Structure 1
């Protein structure tokens, strides 16, 4: 008698890393040749569980070494309280649990939420990873999504037409410590939209359609500049994570050699303990050189591979690309080409990063930044500051935006010469840079105008460092005007509204005599004069009755 599984076949669709262009994992998709097995699995938790086990075994038969994604209905998890058969199948296949991600698939309606959360907790205890599938096109409640705290959130490509929604989900994912993926990407425009909204992973026909055999290469359009959300302190290491080649720390050198010779794209192997913590790092070239030497195979083949490895270099999943470079730079120079292991909060390896990927991305970032620097002060222009303002608004920060300029600067140039004017501008820029601490950002938007983005508590020290310093040009004293707007969450929608709030404050500051500082709050009328007095005849010959001082 034919079994329901006899007509069942599986296809593999790559999950693509949008930064590196590499394959991060393979999703295993059921492709029944007869009957509606998926509909039956939705109604029958036992069948759905069996389907997940068959999917895993199909991948093992295809010798897929990449991390795997297996689909399971939310109702199945709530009903069965976990997937012990899947965990057993993972162990029998010789794969590590954290190499397998369970994609929790809608519907969620009528699924007991507490039972689902307990089942997900059981999966995590087994070491399996969790993905929330069908978000945006499914029925997952937002509160349940945050309670699930998945390692990955998969959005439907239809949401790409609503960029704000995707960016908001990216922000939520950052808070949960999750990655963001977009499914169903079919065009280069959708891919660009996914990148610009901050998605790190994607799937779809554009990259590679589902196929009976796992593909080795995918098409990825040129990578767009790093998303706004990660520019503040450099790209996140999560943008560059590649699948790691993992073997138990008890593996022999012969096992490592077999893996390396069968997988030419693997640059190294990490040996991990039973908890998934990296113990030794085996570099491809150094290892194969040792094995290929005279008597090398006879000496090492049956010995533990750990004897030919090095202590692993590791960084946490929340590290930036710059922090990874610090790890590489502080180590042995002969190991600069070694992969760096990325570990989660439990110390388990979630992948590796390669130095070449980081250098390429950071070089592109530096070129973009250099193109936007003011040639006189080498400070970034307005775009850099306004991008950061938008990011802080999206993240719900309270921040201050200040506009500073030199009083009567035209008269400085006319009376003391443009060289003295340039020197004055560089002095002001130097003071602002010297006062910048923590997350403060300083920009030179042209002429004698500067922007300062800061946290409220950093404002007073910055003002003291700048306004209390005597300045002169051509032997004549010079003063500065400063206008500040405080923006609390919800008070402004974007940097344009913040700038609009700042404009009247600048006008008020310029109407005061001497070094001045005016502070206002977005959405509130009026302002507070923190420095400066009523207008009087200016030092550069302006009458007090004349409007403005710039």
Structure 2
């Protein structure tokens, strides 16, 4: 009688990093030659667990060093309470659990929620990473998704026709600290949609089809200008993580040399302790140079590779690209090409980032920012400020949004000349920039209008630094009008609501005499006059 293993083969499909264009890992897919063993595994948790073990062993037989994605049904985890045999198979193969992501797939209907969450906690305790698979076309409740707090969320290909849903899921993933991936990408248009909507990873026929041999080279279409979502405070390091080449801290120089010579695309090796914490960093060029010198192999081959390594450079998984550059900048200049290890909250290595990837992405970010700057003041336009407003709202932060303009600016231009008018606008912009603290944003939204986002506590000194200045243009005195709306958490749903409140307040400020400031609160009627006086009514009769 034939075994189920006789009618089963495995294929590997790359999961692609859309930022770097590299392979982030390999999903192992069961490919039965006859029958529907996956349907059987859905009903039989023990069979599903044995499939997962076989998947790990199949990957090991292909000698791939890439991180692995192993599929398991949610019901299997809830019924079995964990995957001890899978953990054992990973360890027997010489791999580390944090190099393996467990893709938890539907169905979730009738799966005991508490049992599933307890099983996931066991997997996390063993070091496995967690992925919620098939989101968007399955029936996973949002409550369960947030309780799982996955490291990765994989969206079904059907959502590529609904980019708004991908953007919304990206926001949720940022709150959960997860990466976002889209499956089933088949065309360059779908790839562009996924990237623009905020997906960081993807897989599908466009990049590489499932194959019996793991593919390290994939096709990634070139990105068009503006195809990347605007980051909050610099791109997140999560977007640049590459698989790390890891060896135990006790590895010999000969073992490191064998890994490097067999994997020409590996730029360095991290030596980690039993908990997966990096202890030494071995740079490819420096290491091979030492080994290839006279007597180098005889001196070092059987000795610990740690002697030829350096202290690792590490950043947390929540760091930004700018923070990575700071880590590189303060170190030894001879190590600027070294990979930087990315570690999770337990200090375990989850991958590496390369300086070239960061520099390329930050350069693209700067180009995008420059394209949105006002040519007169070099301040960002309204899109940058309103986008930041929406992010503050999403984060549940209170804020003050202010609209400033020059009174009767056309008359200023007509009387003093456009050159004097331009210099006045530049001077007001510089004053706002100087007054704005690190948490405030200043935008020039056209003509003589400025938009300022700040925390309420910093509003008074910011206003004083601008309104207490005796402004003039070409010898003519000039007054300013300022309107501010205070928005407490939950008082507005997006920047449009805040702008609507602000428009009414601006009209009230412009109706006052002299330099004026009107303050209102979102959701409350009326306003407070902080500067300026009401104009006298026109005489009658």
Report the TM-score when normalising by structure 1: 0.94
Task: Give yes or no for contact 1:377–1:426 (8 Å, CA) kept in 2.
Answer: yes
Deviation at 1:269, TM superposition (A): 0.5
In the alignment, what sits opposite 1:127? 127
The 1-side partners of 2:157 and 2:400 are apart by 36
Deviation at 1:491, TM superposition (A): 5.2
Identify which range, 59-68 or 132-141, moves more after superposition: 132-141
Identify which range, 305-314 or 440-449, moves more after superposition: 440-449
In the alignment, what sits opposite 1:149? 149
In the alignment, what sits opposite 1:190? 190
Secondary structure of the structure 1 residue equivalent to 2:219: coil
The 2-side partners of 1:70 and 1:286 are apart by 35
The 2-side partners of 1:390 and 1:119 are apart by 37
In the alignment, what sits opposite 1:533? 533
The 2-side partners of 1:360 and 1:88 are apart by 40
In the alignment, what sits opposite 1:423? 423
Task: Give yes or no for contact 1:235–1:320 (8 Å, CA) kept in 2.
Answer: yes
Secondary structure of the structure 2 residue equivalent to 1:255: helix
Identify which range, 220-229 or 42-51, moves more after superposition: 220-229
Deviation at 1:228, TM superposition (A): 4.2
Identify which range, 164-173 or 388-397, moves more after superposition: 388-397
The 2-side partners of 1:72 and 1:26 are apart by 15
Gaps of 5+ in 2: none
Rate the CA distance shift 1:158–1:396 in 2: closer, same or farther, 3 A: farther
In the alignment, what sits opposite 2:321? 321
In the alignment, what sits opposite 2:499? 499
Count of paired positions:
538
Deviations 1:385-429 (A, max 9, x none): 233234344445433322111112223333333333232222211
Deviation at 1:519, TM superposition (A): 2.6
Deviation at 1:59, TM superposition (A): 0.4
Gaps of 5+ in 1: 537-543
The 2-side partners of 1:191 and 1:524 are apart by 45
Deviation at 1:490, TM superposition (A): 5.7
Deviation at 1:524, TM superposition (A): 4.5
Rate the CA distance shift 1:163–1:395 in 2: closer, same or farther, 3 A: farther
Deviations 1:38-92 (A, max 9, x none): 1111111111111000000000001111000000111111111110000000000
Identify which range, 211-220 or 472-481, moves more after superposition: 472-481
The 2-side partners of 1:421 and 1:545 are apart by 30
The 1-side partners of 2:244 and 2:338 are apart by 12
In the alignment, what sits opposite 1:384? 384
Deviation at 1:323, TM superposition (A): 0.7
Task: Give yes or no for contact 1:228–1:391 (8 Å, CA) kept in 2.
Answer: no
Deviation at 1:476, TM superposition (A): 3.7
* Runs ≥4 residues deviating over 6 A: none
RMSD of aligned C-alpha atoms? Answer: 1.9
Task: Give yes or no for contact 1:132–1:152 (8 Å, CA) kept in 2.
Answer: yes
The 1-side partners of 2:45 and 2:368 are apart by 52
In the alignment, what sits opposite 1:24? 24
The 2-side partners of 1:284 and 1:110 are apart by 51
The 1-side partners of 2:18 and 2:350 are apart by 17
Rate the CA distance shift 1:529–1:162 in 2: closer, same or farther, 3 A: farther
Deviation at 1:492, TM superposition (A): 4.9
The 2-side partners of 1:497 and 1:106 are apart by 39
In the alignment, what sits opposite 1:278? 278
